Amino acid sequence: MDDMIGRRAALGALGGGAAMAAGLGGIASAQGLRPFTAITPFGFIADFGELMNAHSAGHFRAQGLQSTVLGGQGTGQAVTQLIAGQAKFTRASGLDIARAVYAANAPLVVISTLYQGSNWYVISHRDKPIRTALDMKGKKMGVVSVNGTTENFLDLMLGSAGVSPSETPREAVGNSPAAFQFVKQGRIDGFIAAFSVAIALREANEPFEFFTSDKYAPMPSQVYATTREVAEKEPELVVRFLRALRASVEDLLTQDYNAILDRISRDFEVPGIRNRAPLVAIAREAKELWFTEGRENLMRNVPALWQKGAEAINRSGLFKVDDVARLYTNRFIDEALRT
């Protein structure tokens, strides 16, 4: 577990960071606060800024919560931590949570959607473009990890286009602009990565093309989930968590992002923090994906979008979604947004 937490996250485990804790009386200031743990699926990358900022800016503390934020090593690990009761909340792709619920009968429920639009891109070389799911038939595709989110999305897109997943070999290449070098070398024909990779490739003037997974499988992209037990037995905790998260999202929408990076880097080891230009560009474009279903739906679960996702999943044959409404609830986010 020590490898997951990281030195600075451990220092800031009281919520609000080591500096803020010292200013409020250190450990004694945590008395009376309700402790909880949240876990990211992939370390402390800047894309999880809203969660880290809620901790470092003291938004959790303002809701009477003592926060610990862990950096996980994959969505599977994060989900396992939730089910085992080692963490209360995680952020993950909507597809991953849906698969856990419907294919593995995991007792999870989505309590908020942050990214309504897809943050997963299919990237290829401009000279040998892959523009459709059908184009991926027989091509060797890179994925972030074996049996992970991007491989799930690859199978989903192929299935939606009537292509058997077995017809498309794949290789794990990580979630980095460096994967494009494998395309240039002919090792792979294309790869699936987070939108931040495409932004970095654009900044480097690389000759690439892309399309998003929404082209074939529109669904809530990045969601916050908890267990049904937490939702049923600790509803006040869920509402407080979401209120703090909403305040942090407001920070990201209104404050200078460099100041936010300064704040969270006191508590967390953020990769790439020394080269901020790409992080600032990624943060700016990420916000566009928060609003693809309209500003009025910021952080809400949109039933029509979940229904589209269920239809895409069922068409693909990846697994069966019989009743998508049992996957999510707006009960807690609606209450959090009212105050």
DSSP sequence for 127-153: TB---STGGGTT--EEESSTTSHHHHH
- Average pLDDT over the chain reads 89
pLDDT band at 42 (very low <50, low <70, confident <90, very high): confident
pLDDT of 84 > 60? The answer is yes
The HSE-up count of residue 61 (CA atoms within 13 Å, CB side) is 21
pLDDT, position 30: 58
Model confidence at 231: pLDDT above 70? yes
Enumerate residues 6+ apart whose C-beta is below 8 A from 158.
133, 136, 137, 164, 165, 167, 168, 316
Please state which of the ranges 11-15, 90-94, 172-176, 276-280 shows the lowest mean pLDDT.
11-15
Range of weakest confidence among 150-159, 177-186, 297-306: 150-159
Give me the half-sphere count of Cα atoms (radius 13 Å) on the Cβ side of residue 15.
26
At residue 145, the pLDDT reads 85
Q: Minimum mean pLDDT among 58-72, 116-130, 145-159: which range?
A: 145-159
**153-168: pLDDT as tens digits:** 999 999 888 899 999 9
Q: How confident is the model over 109-138, as a mean pLDDT?
A: 96
- The tally of CA atoms less than 13 A away on the side-chain side of residue 117 is 16
- List the single range of 25-34, 72-81, 195-204, 273-282 with lowest mean pLDDT: 25-34
Taking CA atoms, 335 is separated from 9, 12, 290, 331, in Å, by 29, 28, 20, 6
Q: What is the pLDDT of residues 309-334, one digit of tens each?
A: 999 999 888 899 999 999 999 999 99
Q: How confident is the model at residue 22 (pLDDT cuts 50, 70, 90)?
A: very low
The region of weakest confidence among 11-15, 168-172, 183-187, 252-256 is 11-15
Please report which confidence band the pLDDT of residue 203 belongs to, taking 50, 70 and 90 as the band edges.
confident
Task: Please report the pLDDT score of residue 188 as a whole number.
Answer: 98
- Nearest to residue 126, comparing CAs of 214, 215, 201, 212? 201
More confident residue, 74 or 304: 304
- In terms of Cα–Cα distance, which of 72, 76, 138 is closest to 106? 76
The residue with greater pLDDT, 16 or 110, is 110
Question: Over 70: is that where the pLDDT of 24 sits?
Answer: no
- Residue 217 phi, psi dihedral angles, 5° rounding: -140, 70
Distances from the Cα of 52 to the Cα of 18, 40, 97, 159, angstroms: 13, 10, 21, 36
> How far is residue 199's CA from residue 277's CA, in Å, rounded to a whole number?
11
Closest by CA to 339, choosing from 236, 251, 229, is: 236
Asked if residue 16 has pLDDT above 60, the reply is: no
Domain annotation for the chain: domains and CATH numbers: 2-117+219-338 (3.40.190.10), 120-215 (3.40.190.10)
How far, in Å, CA of 300 to CA of 296, rounded? 8
* Per-residue pLDDT at 227 exceeds 90: yes
